[in-house]
Amino acid sequence: MDRRRFLATGLAAGAAAATLSSSSKAQNQSPPSKFRLKYAPHLGMFPTMAGGSLEDKIKALSGLGFRAIFDNGLADKSAQDQQTIAQGLQEQNMDLGPFIAYADFKVASFVTRDKEIRDMLKKKMFQAVETAKRTNAKWSLVVPGRYDQQMEWDYQTANVIDNLKFCTEIFEAAGLIMVLEPLNPWDHPGLFLTKIPQAYNICRAVNSPCCKIVDDLYHQQITEGNLIPNIDRAWDEIASFHLGDNPGRKEPTTGEINFRNIFKHLHEKNYQDVLCMEHGHSQSGKEGEQALLQAYRYCDDF
């Protein structure tokens, strides 16, 4: 064999060996471990790392270690898309966080005794029930709307409780849990429900296993702080959480909330349900997606 053929043969053999070695390493690399808690991104949160069809997105999010998703606008999706999401979650053994049943920030609704409002709420609740049947959802979210500046606060509270009892009866028959969301009055001025103690008091008055609280830690850090003590005091009435750091409403570690301690606390309390990642990215593009993922890996390593 001449020198030229010898070198060519040697280089080809070396390239083949390198390819086999690389392939072997890739096959031996284990996928990312599942997160300890059920942090739930929405389906558009990782457009480059988890893009494609609905099925592809769900599969990719599972591959990143997530055990749940959330979709606020699930009730507005087509029945076919809802069923596709349900099938994808079932195949990946993932949970579905609360979707919105009613959240009109412009209308004084639950605080009234208006018959047209009651009829509208009835329609919304039955729509939520149908969505839950198609998607196997356990929770649906309600924001009780604006307060009335021309009515005594206690009368408004009584009306909210009565309207929630009416809506909860519809949910109870379907085995669906309503979660009430307090929102901070700076981002959303004029809303009736703003604090965890207020929501706790209302849930106790409604007195139903199907009327609970979603504790949005971003909103409550702004409104009242004292996050862990309020979690403990309202624990019996909390069914779910929303996440977002403050200021900025971006991923954990970008603001002042110690999410690592909060996640550790929830794990110690044996919290088994969903934490919806209702926030943005601190950086754009794929780098932003990677930074978000790394932030959750850090906070989940408690």
**Could you report the per-residue pLDDT of 147-158, keeping only the tens digit for each?**
999 999 999 999
Which pair of tokens denotes residue 274? 């969903």
* Mean pLDDT value across residues 86-100: 98
Given a cut of 60, whether residue 8 has pLDDT beyond it is: no
Percent of the chain with pLDDT over 70: 90
Return the closest-CA partner of residue 279 out of 17, 10, 42, 97: 42
For 147, list phi and psi in degrees, rounded to 5. -90, 165
Q: pLDDT band for position 64 (50/70/90)?
A: very high
Distance (Å, whole) CA 73 – CA 101:
9
Q: Return the pLDDT at 140.
A: 98
Is the same domain home to 219 and 100? yes
Distance (Å, whole) CA 200 – CA 206:
10
Cis preceding-peptide flag for 98 (omega within 30 of 0) = no
Is the same domain home to 226 and 79? yes
Percent of the chain with pLDDT over 90: 89
| Residue 192: burial class (beta carbons within 10 Å; 0-12, 13-18, 19+) | buried
Q: Return the pLDDT at 25.
A: 42
Q: Return the pLDDT at 29.
A: 58
Q: pLDDT band for position 242 (50/70/90)?
A: very high
Q: Return the pLDDT at 32.
A: 83
| Residue 4: burial class (beta carbons within 10 Å; 0-12, 13-18, 19+) | exposed
Is the same domain home to 197 and 224? yes
Domain count along the chain: 2
Is the same domain home to 218 and 288? yes
Is the same domain home to 145 and 243? yes
Distance (Å, whole) CA 119 – CA 219:
30
Is the same domain home to 14 and 134? no
Is the same domain home to 281 and 136? yes
* Mean pLDDT value across residues 111-133: 98
Return the closest-CA partner of residue 71 out of 61, 281, 161: 61
Is the same domain home to 85 and 7? no
Q: Domain range for residue 19? A: 1-30
Q: Return the pLDDT at 30.
A: 67
Q: Return the pLDDT at 201.
A: 98
Is the same domain home to 56 and 26? no
Q: What is the pLDDT of residues 30-39, one digit of tens each?
A: 668 999 999 9
Q: Return the pLDDT at 298.
A: 98
Q: What is the pLDDT of residues 245-286, one digit of tens each?
A: 999 999 999 999 999 999 999 999 999 999 999 999 999 999
Q: Return the pLDDT at 15.
A: 41
Is the same domain home to 17 and 42? no
* Mean pLDDT value across residues 72-97: 98
Is the same domain home to 215 and 263? yes
CATH number of the CATH domain containing 76: 3.20.20.150
Is the same domain home to 96 and 175? yes
Q: What is the pLDDT of residues 165-203, one digit of tens each?
A: 999 999 999 999 999 999 999 999 999 999 999 999 999
